[in-house]
Structure 1
Amino acid sequence: MKIQNTSLYQEMQSMAAQAGRVQPQAKPPIQESAATSTAQFGDVLQNALNTVAGLQRDAKEKVTAVEMGDRSVSLAEAMIAKNKSSVAFEATVQVRNKLVEAYKDIMSMPV
């Protein structure tokens, strides 16, 4: 995901100036970027969720194989896969919590 910090910052300053909260400073013209930043963020988020789901499926398959007595999968492999999926899921939950917190902060800002 490629985010252009300067153009984002300039756009935020422009919006604040329009809202009358900040006096506009001398700034270079805002570079128009394609409206794909939302799509790119969505794609990155979707890929991350698909990765977590894949790790969970893999862990479930390995645990089931160990429970059924499949000798091609060791208990250590199943435990590692289960822990990987657990860590990935917890990280996803933390990202979700941060996004919700950021959304609430933005929505509570006075206009």
Structure 2
Amino acid sequence: MTMQDYPSRLSNPNSRKLGTFSYLPQMTPEQIRKQIEYIVSKGWNPAIEHTEPDFASSNYWYMWKLPMFGESDVDAILAEIEECKSANPGHHVRLVGYDNIKQTQGANMLVHRAEAS
């Protein structure tokens, strides 16, 4: 098997890869739900972040509200993702699962990729 090259360029924000899942096709709503179910099953705290496509490679993304400490309702998390997308048109949106035991991110994935302007 030959390794595939993914041509990412700073000059083309739509070509940039933003984490492991970004090398795969866009997740379906069912796949996103499964990822949220996994985050909740691990007891991790979900958080939603967003940013403009031109700045997605930056370390700083805007936090959407506070992390959803202790939230286990998958539909509530999905609703917050949709609210973030509506309030920030043209932004990428990612979901983070914070592991409060290990004090790190247990999961981090792009759940909405906006087109760069």
- Structure number with greater Rg is 1
* Larger RCO (alpha carbons 8 Å, 6+ apart): 2
- Relative to its length, the structure with more strand (as a share) is 2
Q: Do both proteins adopt the same fold according to a TM-score greater than 0.5, normalized to the shorter chain?
A: no
- Relative to its length, the structure with more helix (as a share) is 1
